[in-house]
């Protein structure tokens, strides 16, 4: 058997047949699959439903807009102020004040949203144009306020001009 492999057939030699224990491998796969399923659920929970502004509207959406009384509602968000524009009418800018806890005070914005909803009850869309320096936490809180005020169709884009 010069240079060959010993297959264990001779006298006094061990056989190379080995039984592999699959139980630890199955345990590892069960834990891995459970972990992957849980992380997939967590990523769905943390997701915000927003659309990008400026997308083409379908014919059906255009017909619905013609039937209901709505305006093009835009909220300009900068680190220093919040400015709401409804079509061509500007509302006074709201100063971005922070409370004792460091969070942005959104009560004046909520009052402004209620005023808009009383004027345009069919309004459901708003576009947020944000500055790059706006904190993500503030943006998420503003989106939550929009949805809570009855404006569930929130679009987010970069600020174009004030």
Tallying the residues shown for the chain, one arrives at: 162
CA angle 134, 160, 51 (to 5 degrees): 70
In DSSP notation, 63-91 reads HHHHHS----EEEEE-SSEEEEEETTEEP
Please give the helix or strand (H or E) that residue 108 lies within, else none: helix 107-119
At residue 49, does pLDDT exceed 80? Answer: no
CA distance 51 to 49: 7
Q: Evaluate if residue 15 carries a pLDDT over 90.
A: no
Question: Could you read off the pLDDT of 63-119 as tens digits, one per residue?
Answer: 655 555 778 888 888 888 888 888 777 788 888 888 888 888 888 888 888 888 888
Interstrand relation of 125-130 and 94-95 (parallel, antiparallel or unpaired): unpaired
- Identify any residues that bridge with 104 across adjacent strands, giving them in sequence order: 98
pLDDT at 103: 87
Neighbours of 109 (CB within 10 A): 21
Which residues contact residue 22 at a Cβ distance below 8 angstroms, ignoring those fewer than 6 apart? none
pTM: 0.58
Contact 94, 83 (CB under 8 A): yes
How confident is residue 1, by pLDDT bands cut at 50, 70 and 90? very low
pLDDT value of residue 55: 55
């Amino acid at each position: 058997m010069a240079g060959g492999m010993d297959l264990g057939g001779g006298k006094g030699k061990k056989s190379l047949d080995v039984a592999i224990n699959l139980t630890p491998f199955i345990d590892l796969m069960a834990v891995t699959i459970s972990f992957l399923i849980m992380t997939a659920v967590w990523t769905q929970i943390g997701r915000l439903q927003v659309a990008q502004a400026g997308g083409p509207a379908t014919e059906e959406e255009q017909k619905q807009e013609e039937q209901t009384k709505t305006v093009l509602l835009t909220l300009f968000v900068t680190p220093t102020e919040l400015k709401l524009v409804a079509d061509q009418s500007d509302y006074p800018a709201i100063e971005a004040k922070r409370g004792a806890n460091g969070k942005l005070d959104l009560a004046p914005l909520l009052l402004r949203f209620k005023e808009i909803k009383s004027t345009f009850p069919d309004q459901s869309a708003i576009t947020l144009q944000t500055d790059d320096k706006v904190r993500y936490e503030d943006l998420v809180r503003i989106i939550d306020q929009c949805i809570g005020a009855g404006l569930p169709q929130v679009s987010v884009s970069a600020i174009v001009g004030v």
